[in-house]
Amino acid sequence: MTALLTDNLPLLAGAPNGIKKLRELILELAVRGKLVPQEPSDEPASELLKRIAEEKARLVAEGKIKKQKPLAGIGEEEKPFELPEGWEWSRLSDLLPEFQNGASSRGDSDGLPVTVLRLADIKAGEISLDDTRTLMLSATTISKYALEDSDILLIRVNGSADLVGRFVVCRTTLQAIPCDHFIRMRFPRDVIDSAYLKLIGDSEIARSAIAGLFVSTAGQKTVNQGHIGSLLLPLPPLAEQHRIVAKVDELMALCDRLETRQADAASAHARLVQALLDSLTQASDAADFAASWQRLAGHFHSLFTSESSIDALKQTLLQLAVMGKLVPQAPSDEPASELLKRIAEEKARLVKEEGLRTTARDDVPEDEYYLELPRGWAYCRLGNLARFIDYRGKTPTKTKTGVPLITAKNVRPGFISREPQEFIAERDYETWMTRGFPRIGDMLFTTEAPMGNIALIDISEKFALAQRVICFQLHEPRLGAFLKLAIMSSIFQKQLWEASTGMTATGIKASRLKEIPAPLPPLAEQHRIVAKLDQLMTLCDQLKTRLTTARQLHERLAGALVEQAVA
């Protein structure tokens, strides 16, 4: 079985969450007796249980322990799987543990200083003495709760179900005592290897069983000695326990190395991808850009092999579009300056005829340029491109049905989602939407939580707008497709963050948003850019789909291997 694991490590580790699942598989195989071979010469677990029963009877007869009410026998229906030859099912309390709840944290005024372990001292499943607390306790108390090598601490109470019921092994005799959030368990060493019991406690089989023992007290999940004593355990011969622990340690160390290697490889891959993508955006001229693109294209299928790398490619394509490097300029195109003249005339008309108040400064000085624009392009402040319909500061009364309400949660990067669904009453619609009605082709922008999402309106039915969403009604509607891309680009998002305010919830005020300059190409070039970018984004989505399909196949193959391993 170990050969099955090691021979297929690349397949298992490379599957989605592969190393995490590999660790779980190792524990699963360990507690099922499938990780190391059984040795006929090992003393069977049944003999261990006989010696325990004899020792328990002797201690009861001598009055050293109380006779306990016997637990119910282990029925066949309780046994989750068949055990190998020489193994036995046993309840935890049958292994003669010494249960001892931890010490109270009240302390004694005239006691001795002693380190008290808290839940905060359990880190990554191990005891850490890096930042402990000291209490004054009597010598008798210290002696009563002292920890020894191979003691097991059971976390018996915690607000997190992931910690309660966990086993922690004391690796050496510690000059410390546990607080009352723990139960100390001490086992006869000639019966149970504490490290084996710890790996049982970490296995999914035991975690599921322990979860069934939880009770809730004052909002916390707890487990007590009586509960945990009924836990059903697969008990191998003692010699096999030692071999299992050694093999698990070996395989977990191998997982650690695989994890480190994967992390290093992923980091190096991300740096390489970003460096090659940066060479495109930083190209000094057309020849430099062509050379950089050739380098990228030559290794395309080996570079873009993860969702993060494809997302980085998408963002670079957006930036190239906004920089004017995605399609060639055409000298015959009407320059953007002429487009801006017509936009200014429309804005003046709206100011005069409709009382438009959304305006910004007209000039964009060179010290505000954040891109070197190609010939024929121009900067224009957002406030001069559109009427702003802003419902900031107002909260509508929501209803279960009625007119759909579009909130900041619905505006995603590049599109409007209809989830979550919220509504306002039909009778409130007219009085609520007094600042203006959004139209198909207008743009929605989120000012906070999250800030900077932008989408074109494609909703034909009437809807209401909530706070933290601004509607841009463009003076030239044909700008929308390109302007959406420009706002989504990382270089424009950087301008938003520099103009934002707030510590806990970062947002941007409409007055500052209006003043941010946007780069505008000639209208004809905008259409060419949008068409080219749509084509390239479709290719990126196809790459992601193929990647997802390959991962699903990989996961199915790994799953089949796991089934074979535990069958």
Q: Is the pLDDT of residue 375 over 70?
A: yes
Which of 145-149, 213-217, 308-312, 328-332 has the weakest average pLDDT?
213-217
Q: Is the pLDDT of residue 1 over 60?
A: no
Which of 49-63, 279-293, 551-565 has the weakest average pLDDT?
551-565
pLDDT at res. 5: 61
Half-sphere exposure of 218 (CA within 13 A, CB side): 2
> For residues 552 and 16, is the Cβ–Cβ distance under 8 A?
no
What is the greatest pairwise CA distance in the chain? 106
Highest-confidence segment of 17-21, 126-130, 379-383: 379-383
Average pLDDT, stretch 302-313? Answer: 89
Average pLDDT, stretch 159-175? Answer: 79
pLDDT at res. 109: 66
pLDDT at res. 503: 73
Mean pLDDT computed over every residue of the chain: 88
When pLDDT is cut at 50, 70 and 90, the band that residue 476 belongs to is: very high
Quick one: what percent of the chain has pLDDT higher than 90?
46
pLDDT at res. 106: 72
Average pLDDT, stretch 336-345? Answer: 96
Q: What is the pTM of this model?
A: 0.72
- The model's pLDDT over 545-562, given as tens digits with 9 standing for 90+, comes to 988 888 787 777 767 766
Could you tell me which residue, 561 or 225, shows the higher pLDDT? 225
At CA 397, angle to CA 391 and CA 400, rounded to 5? 120
Q: How many CB atoms lie within 10 A of CB 59?
A: 14
Nearest alpha carbon to residue 322 among 377, 361, 277: 377
pLDDT at res. 458: 95
**Beta-sheet pairing, 443-447 with 451-456:** antiparallel
- The model's pLDDT over 99-127, given as tens digits with 9 standing for 90+, comes to 888 888 776 667 788 888 888 888 888 88
Average pLDDT, stretch 280-305? Answer: 82
Quick one: what percent of the chain has pLDDT higher than 70?
94
- Cα–Cα distance measured from residue 87 to residue 98, given in angstroms and rounded to the nearest whole number: 23
Average pLDDT, stretch 361-366? Answer: 94
